[in-house]
């Protein structure tokens, strides 16, 4: 044999070998990989047998037999034992290989000559390709068993071996040809060429960078695909033929550098075989930035994420100073307002015995205890999960704490004096004849409880500090930041204590009047807290009583004697205003209104333009995590943006957003095309905790946005109260 003949012989031999290998690598159609035979043994017994090709396996728990004939029932299947396997898709499962037979018991309420049953099963190939659920409808002829004959007709032994001829499936790299390129110094491009008869899932596309120091992916949007009702994944979007879109990147370095792009995606063949999740990596060379200054990471971060970054990078001293400033800003919000009458009542309760120094020390004890409690339970929540402030919003705790304020207010009115037992007084007075230590302990206890019960506010600085502690476990830095913020929040209270010793009257009738005023304020705190757990009609009546009864003491309904002083006339005028508004509140309750600020709303009848304009946003409540995920998925399929609001009745900032921001005409107009969802966290349940953990939230208020995807736009997350103008800027940033 000549050398030329030998070469040709080797070439054609290799060609034949290659074709055989390719043929062997192509996955079999489902009907061939899992051949289903059935045999009707009797009128009430059916045997199903699967012949599983070598290299394939069948899932035990995915075998189902369903009656498709009225009057026929299928008894629970008794499945044979199989082999255990840890499956990448379904976890620990039982599988069958080679062959398996399953007996099926048929139960009919009357004599049937023919029935239909649906057999469902699912399996995979060892190479990693899993098939969608396979379905076979069996037509069973029961007429040969009408006389209960034991003879089995050969017509009852059927085989599903015959399947229509089908082309071999393409390898994944040919079915979905992925490529990427550097479009310019700040943009990448990704592309999929999808073979005819195949499709790619939009929801299964994931892109990330690695080995890319100083380089980050910017925000990008995958184009919308064709809606499809998929057996495996429900409502999805798919792509045929081709998919291409750009990926913006941000860079810190001017010089050229190499990065790696990691792409994950999944697709199927129209004939019913789905490929496993595919992963591709591509090394890309980024060009230099033409000598320009380094491009900073301009990807927008949410406020709390900016705070987390600052905690990672700033010095300890700078962090404490920054968070103290955050606390001072938070002290100007309604979160701190309820604490003012509480501390004022503690100071006024000491009457003419109080000095400026003692007043300041009481305030300091109150503020420090509040800040320490804020810090301890904040750190515990970050390290172990849970929000103790939410736990303390239980109705019985609110009712108990409100009762304490009612008792304190009655003592202010002179009904009785609240004093410690003599034995405890003696122990607390060892260092001071004026029982100053006991007073400080009382103020500290009240401050600790107030931080948990009265003002459970979640703001961006608090969320940032807790996220940082949770990420790093650095309780020292995170806790120090929380304590500094707590002290900043208490600054107005310290100023109150510093000035109260000078401003409060020392003795006489004025002191009694001052104590009565703070007694009314304490009753106001009690009503405000009870509004979290009582119906709106009841709390509105309580507000009416709180206005009318003090008005009576201000001589609102009594004539003034001749020659009364200007002060008496001023108090009577104030009493008349309070009395009149209290009566209006009672009228408002009879009209069905529960808003103390708008008691006569709708009195004119009908909803005019102004009344409609006053209405806020209408949310759809979601109570479970599964319900929320379904809503987000449906909105993604419909390409509808979503705003998700985390709310609670005891959340002061939530009430602010509801009363002001969500009633703004421009805000409502901007959100008119949004799906508005709301999670109610008023009750501390397992479902509410799961809804918080889903997005790593501490508590309300929190507002999340989704723009045609199940993935949150984290850069626009809102934590805490935002005025309408600020919130509008947040919404505009979504575009």
Residue with tokens 């989704």: 706
Any domain includes 548: no
Distances (CA, A) of 196 to 169, 245, 667: 11, 20, 46
Query: 716 near 733, Cβ under 8 Å?
Result: yes
**C-alpha closest to that of 136 among 125, 124, 149, 122:** 122
Average pLDDT over residues 40-50: 86
Q: Identify the pLDDT of residue 48.
A: 92
pLDDT-based confidence at residue 455 (cuts at 50, 70, 90): low
**Per-residue pLDDT tens over the stretch 170-183:** 888 889 999 998 88
Any domain includes 81: yes
Last residue of a domain, one of 221, 254, 286: 286
Calculate ∠ Cα 706-323-479, nearest 5°: 90
Query: What is the distance between the alpha carbons of residues 151 and 259, in angstroms, rounded to a whole number?
Result: 73
Q: Identify the pLDDT of residue 158.
A: 42
- Furthest-apart CA pair in the chain: how many Å? 142
From 216-230, 260-274, 503-517, the region with the lowest mean pLDDT = 503-517
Query: What is the distance between the alpha carbons of residues 447 and 464, in angstroms, rounded to a whole number?
Result: 24
Q: What value does the mean pLDDT of the chain take?
A: 76
Query: What is the distance between the alpha carbons of residues 639 and 633, in angstroms, rounded to a whole number?
Result: 10
Instruction: Identify whether residues 451 and 325 lie together within a single domain.
Output: yes
Instruction: Identify whether residues 83 and 198 lie together within a single domain.
Output: no
From 9-18, 287-296, 353-362, the region with the lowest mean pLDDT = 9-18
Query: 259 near 284, Cβ under 8 Å?
Result: yes
Query: 319 near 481, Cβ under 8 Å?
Result: yes
Q: Identify the pLDDT of residue 642.
A: 93
Average pLDDT over residues 459-467: 67
Instruction: Identify whether residues 177 and 244 lie together within a single domain.
Output: yes
Q: What is the CATH number of the domain that holds 239?
A: 2.60.40.1250
Instruction: Identify whether residues 364 and 457 lie together within a single domain.
Output: yes
**Per-residue pLDDT tens over the stretch 478-532:** 788 888 888 888 888 888 777 765 555 554 455 556 667 767 877 887 887 787 7
Instruction: Identify whether residues 200 and 110 lie together within a single domain.
Output: no
Query: What is the distance between the alpha carbons of residues 517 and 181, in angstroms, rounded to a whole number?
Result: 73
Any domain includes 202: yes
Q: Is the dihedral of CA 686, 690, 691, 696 positive or negative?
A: positive
- In the sheet with 114-121, reading across from the earlier edge strand, the strands are 64-67, 114-121, 134-141
Q: Identify the pLDDT of residue 272.
A: 74
Q: Which residues contact 274 (CB under 8 A, 6 or more apart)?
A: 129, 130, 131, 132, 232, 266, 267, 268
CA 523 to chain CA mean position, Å: 36
**Per-residue pLDDT tens over the stretch 336-349:** 666 777 777 777 66
Instruction: Identify whether residues 42 and 187 lie together within a single domain.
Output: no
Q: Identify the pLDDT of residue 588.
A: 87
Q: Which residues contact 28 (CB under 8 A, 6 or more apart)?
A: 53, 56, 125
Q: Identify the pLDDT of residue 252.
A: 79
Any domain includes 219: yes
Any domain includes 16: no
Residue with tokens 């995590």: 625
**C-alpha closest to that of 226 among 215, 211, 212, 242:** 242
Instruction: Identify whether residues 147 and 187 lie together within a single domain.
Output: no
Instruction: Identify whether residues 274 and 315 lie together within a single domain.
Output: no
pLDDT above 80: residue 428 = no
**What is the number of domains present in the chain?**
4
Instruction: Identify whether residues 154 and 224 lie together within a single domain.
Output: no
Is 0.75 topped by the overall pTM? no
Q: What is the CATH number of the domain that holds 657?
A: 3.40.30.10
Q: Which position has the higher pLDDT, 429 or 592?
A: 592
Query: 496 near 356, Cβ under 8 Å?
Result: no
Query: What is the distance between the alpha carbons of residues 469 and 383, in angstroms, rounded to a whole number?
Result: 7
Average pLDDT over residues 295-321: 66
**Per-residue pLDDT tens over the stretch 652-703:** 778 888 888 998 889 999 998 899 999 998 877 888 888 887 887 877 888 9
Average pLDDT over residues 83-112: 82
Instruction: Identify whether residues 466 and 390 lie together within a single domain.
Output: yes
Query: 499 near 505, Cβ under 8 Å?
Result: no
pLDDT above 70: residue 111 = yes
Query: 35 near 51, Cβ under 8 Å?
Result: yes
| DSSP H or E stretch at residue 412 | helix 395-412
Q: Identify the pLDDT of residue 298.
A: 45
Host domain of residue 273? 172-286
From 13-17, 522-526, 619-623, the region with the lowest mean pLDDT = 13-17
Q: Identify the pLDDT of residue 621.
A: 92
Q: Is the dihedral of CA 317, 323, 329, 335 positive or negative?
A: negative
Average pLDDT over residues 393-417: 72
Any domain includes 626: yes
Average pLDDT over residues 116-122: 90
Instruction: Identify whether residues 339 and 457 lie together within a single domain.
Output: yes
Torsion of CA 20, 25, 27, 28, to 10 degrees: 30
Q: Which position has the higher pLDDT, 452 or 266?
A: 266
Average pLDDT over residues 616-643: 89
Last residue of a domain, one of 132, 159, 186: 159
Any domain includes 580: no
Last residue of a domain, one of 508, 537, 564: 508
**Per-residue pLDDT tens over the stretch 577-588:** 988 988 998 888
Q: Identify the pLDDT of residue 430.
A: 46
Any domain includes 575: no
Query: What is the distance between the alpha carbons of residues 321 and 630, in angstroms, rounded to a whole number?
Result: 44
Q: Identify the pLDDT of residue 177.
A: 92
Instruction: Identify whether residues 227 and 322 lie together within a single domain.
Output: no
Identify the three-state secondary structure at position 192: strand
**C-alpha closest to that of 262 among 209, 334, 211:** 209
- In the sheet with 278-286, reading across from the earlier edge strand, the strands are 206-210, 257-265, 278-286
């Amino acid at each position: 044999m000549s050398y030329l003949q030998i070469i040709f012989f080797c070439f054609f031999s290799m060609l034949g070998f290659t074709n055989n290998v390719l043929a062997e690598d192509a996955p079999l159609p489902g009907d061939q990989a899992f051949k289903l035979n059935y045999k009707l043994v009797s009128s009430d017994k059916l045997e199903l047998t699967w012949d599983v090709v070598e290299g394939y396996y069948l899932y035990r728990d995915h075998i189902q037999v369903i009656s498709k004939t009225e009057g026929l029932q299928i008894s629970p299947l008794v499945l044979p034992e199989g082999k255990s396997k840890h499956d990448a898709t379904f976890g620990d499962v039982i599988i069958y290989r080679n062959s398996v037979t399953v007996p099926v018991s048929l139960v009919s309420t009357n004599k049937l000559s023919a029935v239909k049953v649906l057999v469902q099963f699912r399996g995979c190939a060892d190479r990693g390709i899993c098939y969608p659920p396979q379905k076979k409808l069996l037509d069973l002829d029961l007429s040969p068993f009408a006389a209960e004959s034991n003879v089995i007709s050969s017509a009852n032994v059927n085989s599903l071996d015959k399947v229509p001829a089908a082309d071999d499936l393409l390898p994944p790299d040919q079915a979905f040809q992925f490529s990427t390129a550097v479009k310019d110094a700040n943009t990448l491009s990704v592309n999929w060429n999808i073979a005819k008869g195949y499709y790619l899932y939009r929801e299964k596309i994931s892109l990330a960078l690695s080995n890319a120091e100083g380089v980050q992916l910017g925000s990008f949007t995958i184009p919308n695909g064709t809606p499809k009702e998929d057996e495996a994944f429900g409502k999805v979007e798919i792509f045929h033929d081709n998919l291409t879109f750009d990926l913006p990147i941000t860079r810190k370095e001017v010089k050229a550098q190499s990065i790696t792009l990691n792409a994950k995606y999944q697709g199927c063949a129209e004939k019913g075989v789905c490929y496993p999740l595919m992963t591709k990596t591509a090394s890309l060379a980024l060009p230099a930035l033409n000598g320009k200054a380094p491009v900073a990471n301009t990807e927008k971060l949410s406020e709390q994420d900016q705070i987390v970054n600052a905690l990672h990078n700033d010095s300890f001293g700078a962090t404490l100073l920054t968070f103290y400033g955050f606390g001072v800003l938070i002290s100007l919000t309604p979160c701190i307002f309820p604490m003012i009458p509480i501390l004022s009542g503690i100071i006024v309760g000491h009457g003419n015995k109080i000095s400026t120094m003692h007043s300041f020390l009481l305030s300091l004890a109150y503020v420090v205890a509040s800040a320490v409690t804020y810090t301890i339970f904040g750190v515990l929540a970050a390290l172990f999960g849970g929000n103790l402030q939410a736990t303390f919003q239980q109705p019985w705790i609110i009712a108990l704490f409100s009762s304490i304020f009612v008792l304190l207010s009655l003592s202010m009115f002179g009904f009785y004096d609240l004093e410690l037992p003599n034995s405890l007084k003696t122990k607390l007075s060892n260092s001071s004849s004026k029982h100053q230590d006991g007073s400080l302990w009382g103020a500290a206890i009240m401050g600790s409880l107030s931080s948990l019960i009265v003002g459970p506010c979640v703001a961006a600085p608090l969320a940032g500090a807790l996220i940082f502690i949770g990420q790093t476990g650095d309780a020292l830095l995170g806790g120090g930041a929380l304590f500094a913020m707590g002290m900043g929040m208490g600054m107005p209270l310290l100023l109150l204590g510093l000035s109260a010793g000078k401003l409060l009257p020392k003795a006489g009738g004025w002191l009694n009047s001052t104590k009565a005023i703070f007694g009314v304020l304490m009753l106001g705190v009690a009503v405000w807290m009870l509004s979290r757990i009582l119906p709106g009609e009841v709390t509105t009546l309580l507000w009416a009583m709180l206005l009318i009864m003090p008005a009576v003491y201000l001589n609102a309904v009594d004539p003034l004697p001749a020659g009364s002083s200007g002060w008496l006339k001023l108090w009577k005028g104030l009493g008349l205003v309070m009395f009149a508004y209290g009566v209006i509140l009672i009228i408002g309750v009879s009209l069905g209104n529960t808003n103390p600020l708008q008691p006569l709303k709708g009195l004119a009848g009908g909803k005019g333009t102004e009344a409609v304009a006053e209405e806020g946003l209408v949310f759809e409540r979601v109570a479970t995590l599964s319900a929320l995920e379904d809503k987000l998925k449906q909105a993604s399929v419909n390409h509808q943006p979503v705003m998700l609001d985390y709310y609670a009745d005891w959340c002061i900032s939530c009430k602010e957003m509801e009363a002001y921001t969500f009633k703004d005409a421009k805000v409502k107009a901007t959100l008119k095309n949004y799906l508005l969802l709301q999670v109610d966290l008023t009750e501390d349940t397992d479902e509410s905790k799961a809804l918080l953990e889903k997005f790593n939230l501490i508590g309300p208020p929190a507002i999340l946005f989704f723009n045609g995807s199940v993935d949150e736009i984290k850069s626009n997350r809102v934590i805490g109260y935002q005025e309408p103008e600020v919130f509008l800027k947040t919404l505009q940033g979504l575009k």
